[in-house]
């Protein structure tokens, strides 16, 4: 089994168009078993989510991203393999940071979907109160 950190730091492809994101979600939903859903900055999940919670998460996250990133392009999601994903990084539209500068700390995704049991990511940004509320409403009703 590939170590989580090695896979996380590996090669990822950007999902640039909303239609590409739709296709990626279809791939995930076609094989819903074994997905961990990690809110980076929160507790690391110890077990995969079930198919119903995965569907709920995808629906709600997709809605949030399209509402808060109101552009004709996506550019917030990166997948290790768009045809057979095992790890998907989802960045918060309001905490993208800057990728052009050597002195900047890395920007972590806000959400991570992974078939590999995740490990803690030391996020250098604190999730906003809105993101905490959204996460709690989604999974801790």
pLDDT at 78 over 60: yes
**Burial track 103-121 (b if 16+ CB lie within 10 A, e otherwise):** eeeebbbbbbbbbbebeeb
**Burial track 60-91 (b if 16+ CB lie within 10 A, e otherwise):** ebbebbeeebeeeebebbbbbebeebebbbbb
Q: What is the pLDDT of residue 72?
A: 66
> Domain residues of the chain, as ranges?
4-139
Q: What is the pLDDT of residue 101?
A: 47
Nearest CA-CA partner of 95 in 71, 63, 124: 124
State the pTM of this model.
0.81
Look up residue 53 and give its two tokens: 């919670």
> 10-24, 85-99, 117-131 — which is least confidently predicted?
117-131
């Amino acid at each position: 089994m590939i170590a989580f950190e090695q896979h996380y730091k590996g090669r990822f492809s950007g999902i640039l168009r909303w239609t590409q994101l739709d296709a990626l979600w279809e791939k995930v939903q076609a094989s819903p078993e074994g997905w961990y859903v990690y809110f980076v900055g929160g507790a690391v999940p110890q077990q995969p989510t079930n198919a119903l919670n995965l569907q709920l998460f995808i629906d709600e996250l997709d809605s949030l991203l399209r509402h808060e990133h109101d552009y004709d392009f996506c550019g917030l999601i990166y997948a290790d393999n768009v045809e057979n994903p095992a790890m998907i990084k989802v960045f918060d539209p309001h905490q993208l940071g800057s990728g052009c500068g050597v002195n900047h700390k890395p920007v972590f995704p806000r959400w991570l979907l992974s078939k590999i049991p995740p490990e803690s990511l030391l996020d250098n940004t604190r999730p906003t109160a809105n993101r905490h509320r959204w996460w709690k409403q989604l999974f801790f009703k």
